[in-house]
Structure 1
């Protein structure tokens, strides 16, 4: 009797184990797809996939959510075509309409094939809110509705930096820079002078740089300008570094064909460094460091 009982228990355990294993094999694991909210005023999460269902949350425009697939048939809501989608935003799980969601790939991938402002705006809704003023734009070559090339497009966490050249290649003096937080524009140099090209993009800040120089028969100089934008403080810092090597040879130490020499001295080098806190329009708010020095060659 004892042996029979052991056999029955063993058989039952084995049967239940096999049944569980087979059920696990038949389970379909749905991997969430990251999507970005594209809805002015935010996107509602509802308890059920119905426009009249209870609202259980509101997701800010530009937020990243996790999608677990469509439900029901395609329909139109507020002029947008889509389906109800099961989603998760932080610890809230519910249903939202897919017509107001964009696949993350369309946001994080470089948009290098777009050549016009209209094209950029289709992918990044925040561009629609840019109030461009051509009179405030200090560039020599300006972006138009029919020109433009994305030369830099990178995302770190919730921040994204995009740079657009008015031509077909990088242009550090005429480049346009845009900084986004959760797909919302937080800073742009569009209505001022160009800050240059992105030099570094890290967790808390982005640094832009432009440099130029001259090598003539009487002088050699290099000037570099850096601008640093900090996300959290929404602040802008500026820095200029200038190095000049003067080799003028006439008796007065002045060569009228070279303006730089007329401001320097024969056989001397000149260096200049300046750092300042800038207003968000690029103008100097407060100089925090300035140093000039002349030394013999």
Structure 2
């Protein structure tokens, strides 16, 4: 009997020990389970083959974010047609509504190196492996020319580089543009097709011509550039136009292909023109200004791209650099003038 009681006591002690657990151990196990759960949510990405190039199809641009979250910090915006490499795919899927369409996709980590290095997360519903802009310009395309008036490499005179639309627009807000034509059209008026321009050397007269066989010639007075002491006149001829700068003191006439755009320090002047009335590449003229003298420095006939005719799309950002809005010639010829297919460049004068 005594032995039986001892066995019962031992059994009760053993059962009590089994039921007693270290609360710290339980807490640690719960913490580990929680960590495993979080890891299963967060670590849901996989490495993929980054040699396959994808392209942005969002016409208004594709937002790049710091984390795969719509509320995460926005790093940048990728323009339509920008090539990117997908580094990782996540399993975080969602939908985007665009007009009447619903686009399915997921967050992916990308790397873009076209203009500036951009790495972050984007919605892959706006990515494709088919290039929507096969004629998109690269930095190497910008320097191709038909001719220029120097016998050396153009890189010794100009540096051209692509910039993003955002950079272009930011620079435009801070531009230092000096087109500086004062419109004194009340002082100089056209009468019966004739413009009289008084100079220290006498009056210069410009006459419109109306001829059925030869075509019309007409002149339009635009104003004066006070710093150069010159009149500015636009001449329209058969199939083309030009701008005339006539010095008030010397009566010297300088002929420009387009309206002059002058640097902030008044030392340089550029004009950009398109030859003819069809789609043609840009011709760029660069002049040095010494006192009131305009000295031709460089004429470049580019190949493969042309600039926008939009007023104010060419502007100086400092005494040596200016920006332009351009498009691939091949793109315009094959797909037309699509606004979202313009690109942007910065040119530095050396």
* Bigger RCO of structures 1 and 2 (CA < 8 A, at least 6 apart): 2
Same fold (TM over 0.5): no
Higher-Rg member (1/2): 2
Q: TM-score, normalised by structure 2?
A: 0.24
